[in-house]
Structure 1
Amino acid sequence: MQHDAFIGQVQARARLDSRGAAERVTRASLETLGERVPSPVAEKAAAQLPHEIGEHLRRVAHAPDHRPSGEHMTQHDFFARVAERAGAKYPKAIFEARCVIEIANEATHGAFAHDIRPSLDSDLERILFEIGDQRS
């Protein structure tokens, strides 16, 4: 999947009004995920995504003032960080981040989830990878 198709799918699935909003939530979700999982896991998952999308996972590990990779955070902390970065309210950030993760997983035919899931605590894993009709 190419970058433009990925962002277009995020925009449509998350029902965002612009590509810019889809870019923001994609960046916010993947940068936060990049902080949460260990660097080798982020690198492996990033390599499976379109280059520009994968860079969001890698970016935090290479920033001079980055938070450590594999940082433990509660599900609330994770989504609060996504919300802050995306400029969204907390409940909307949960929905939008799930859309980004679902599309990343679909784009990699399930390999994204296979790589990421073992690094997450069960609550965050359940929310990020739960497939269903909880879209708001």
Structure 2
Amino acid sequence: MQHDIFIGQVQARARLDSRGSAETATRASLETLAERIPASVSENVAAQLPHEIGEHLKRVASALDQPETGIRLSRQEFFDRVARRASADLPKAVHEARCVVEVADEATNGLLATKIRPLLDDELAEVLFAGSTGSA
């Protein structure tokens, strides 16, 4: 999937008013996800995404330098971070993050659900992957 198609899908699914808003939602969601998972997984998944999109996962993973584990975040903490990064209220941040994860999962042929969902707390995984097409 190409960058423009990815962002267009996020914009349409999240019902955002601009491509810039879709870019912001994508960056906020993937950077927060990268904090939560091991850097090796972030880099593996990033390699399957359009370069510009994957960089959101790789940049944070590299900065944290946590190759084995990510930062433990509750569902609330995770979505609070997404909301701060996206300058959005909490319900909007949850909706946008779910849309980003759904598009990213499709773009990686289910790799997100296969590799990342098992690394998350059940409560967070259920919310993020509610509409995913991957096998989990």
Structure 2-normalised TM-score? Answer: 0.91
Equivalent runs, 1:73-92 vs 2, <5 Å: 73-92=73-92
Residue type matched to 1:6 in 2? F
Relative to structure 1, the CA distance from residue 51 to residue 38 in structure 2 (aligned partners, 3 Å threshold; closer, same or farther) is: same
Please name the residue that 2:72 is paired with: 72
Equivalent runs, 1:1-136 vs 2, <5 Å: 1-63=1-63, 66=64, 70-131=70-131
Distance 1:131 1:52 in 2: 24
Gaps of 5+ in 2: none
Q: CA RMSD in A?
A: 1.5
Matched length: 130
Contact 1:14 1:95 survives alignment (8 Å):
yes
Contact 1:35 1:67 survives alignment (8 Å):
no
Distance 1:119 1:46 in 2: 16
Q: CA deviation at 1:62?
A: 2.5
Secondary structure at 1:16's aligned position in 2?
Answer: coil
Q: CA deviation at 1:113?
A: 1.1
Residue type matched to 2:77 in 1? D
Residue type matched to 1:91 in 2? P
Instruction: Determine what percentage of the aligned residue pairs are the same residue.
Output: 63
Structure 1-normalised TM-score? Answer: 0.91
**TM superposition outliers: structure 1 runs of 4+ over 6 Å:** none
